[in-house]
């Protein structure tokens, strides 16, 4: 890890450090400053995982280069090793792998409860791209564990590109409940027509009462945690975002999904796709 300074060199660009609030201390980070495979504290999802997405996840599509973690989505054509003719599982129904990508997580090495998560990244915005920065609770199953989506980009079924900031938990009748803000991508392009070609800073502030999600200092969603009143299943009635359970925390996920339930029609002409993450930092308040 490189030492946190007033200004950091990353991906060939000098930029000011965002978290200069003296009330916070850095507790975990990856500055992606050593070329090669990502550091050992990252683990990987493998295969077809969720949301009927089109990509096969594998570690080979993630590398650190020139100060960034680069997740590359590629066109492929090879047999699906999980294929089972007649299976009802969508993961096994597919005969071929047409796309590959990566999903990196800290599920085996790091989780946290309350503080500030800050990620600087440049995202692909072509058709079918579904990059995300998110966290999941490390206890219970989804959605009782809680999901926080600091950033998702995809195109709606009508083809409109949007950026989302979401929270999900186990709600009434054991169904997933959402607090979701969907910002049209045109909002950001109206501010800067070159927005998609630049790096941006996503930040999430989390305390026992509230979660606030930002991009480049603009508040996207403000989530009162009192509304997430169910969760856990069994005899538990646990708020996944605000509780005193020992060891309960969230781990970080960075992924580039493709297509599936929400990613939209994939534009093969734009491949390979690059999702570049300059740094990931987690801070907690001093008091």
β-strand 273-285 against 250-258: which pairing, if any? Answer: unpaired
Mean of the per-residue pLDDT values for the chain? 91
Q: Is residue 30 part of a domain?
A: no
Q: Is residue 137 part of a domain?
A: yes
Helix, strand, or coil here: 116?
strand
- The label of the residue with tokens 């930092």 reads 281
Q: Is residue 15 part of a domain?
A: no
The count of structural domains within the chain is 1
Q: Is residue 11 part of a domain?
A: no
Q: Is residue 96 part of a domain?
A: yes
In which band, very low, low, confident or very high, does the pLDDT at 20 lie, cut at 50, 70 and 90?
Answer: low
Nearest-angstrom CA–CA distance, 175 and 169: 8
| Beta-bridge partners for 15 | 8
Mean pLDDT over residues 174-198, rounded?
96
Q: What is the CATH number of the domain that holds 105?
A: 2.60.120.200
> What residue numbers bound the domain in which 225 lies?
35-285
Q: Is residue 28 part of a domain?
A: no
Q: Is residue 4 part of a domain?
A: no
Q: Is residue 162 part of a domain?
A: yes
Tokens coding 69: 């973690």
126-138 confidence digits (pLDDT tens): 999 999 999 999 9
């Amino acid at each position: 890890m490189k030492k946190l300074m007033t200004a950091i060199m990353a991906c060939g660009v000098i930029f000011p450090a965002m978290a200069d609030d003296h009330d916070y201390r850095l507790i975990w980070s990856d500055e992606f400053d050593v070329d090669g495979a990502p550091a050992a504290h990252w683990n990987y999802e493998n295969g077809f995982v969720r949301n009927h997405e089109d990509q096969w996840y594998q570690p080979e599509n993630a590398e650190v280069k020139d100060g960034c973690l680069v997740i590359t989505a590629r066109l492929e054509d090879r047999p699906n090793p999980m294929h089972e003719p007649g299976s009802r599982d969508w993961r096994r129904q597919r005969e071929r792998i047409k796309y590959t990508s990566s999903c990196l997580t800290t599920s085996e090495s790091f989780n946290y409860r309350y503080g500030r998560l800050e990620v600087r990244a440049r995202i692909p915005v072509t058709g079918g791209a579904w990059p995300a920065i998110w966290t999941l609770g490390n206890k219970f199953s989804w959605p009782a564990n809680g999901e926080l989506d600091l950033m998702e980009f995809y195109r709606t079924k009508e083809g409109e590109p949007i950026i989302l900031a979401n929270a999900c938990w186990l709600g009434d009748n054991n169904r997933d409940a959402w607090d979701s803000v969907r910002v049209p991508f045109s909002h950001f392009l109206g501010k800067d027509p070159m927005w998609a070609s630049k790096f941006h800073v996503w930040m999430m502030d989390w305390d026992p009462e509230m979660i606030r999600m930002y991009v480049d200092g603009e508040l996207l969603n403000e989530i009162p945690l009192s509304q997430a009143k169910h969760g856990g299943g069994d005899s538990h009635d646990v708020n996944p975002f605000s509780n005193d359970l020992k060891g309960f925390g969230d781990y970080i996920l960075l992924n580039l999904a493709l297509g599936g339930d929400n990613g939209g029609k994939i534009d093969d002409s734009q491949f390979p796709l690059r999702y570049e993450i300059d740094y990931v930092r987690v801070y907690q308040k001093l008091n």
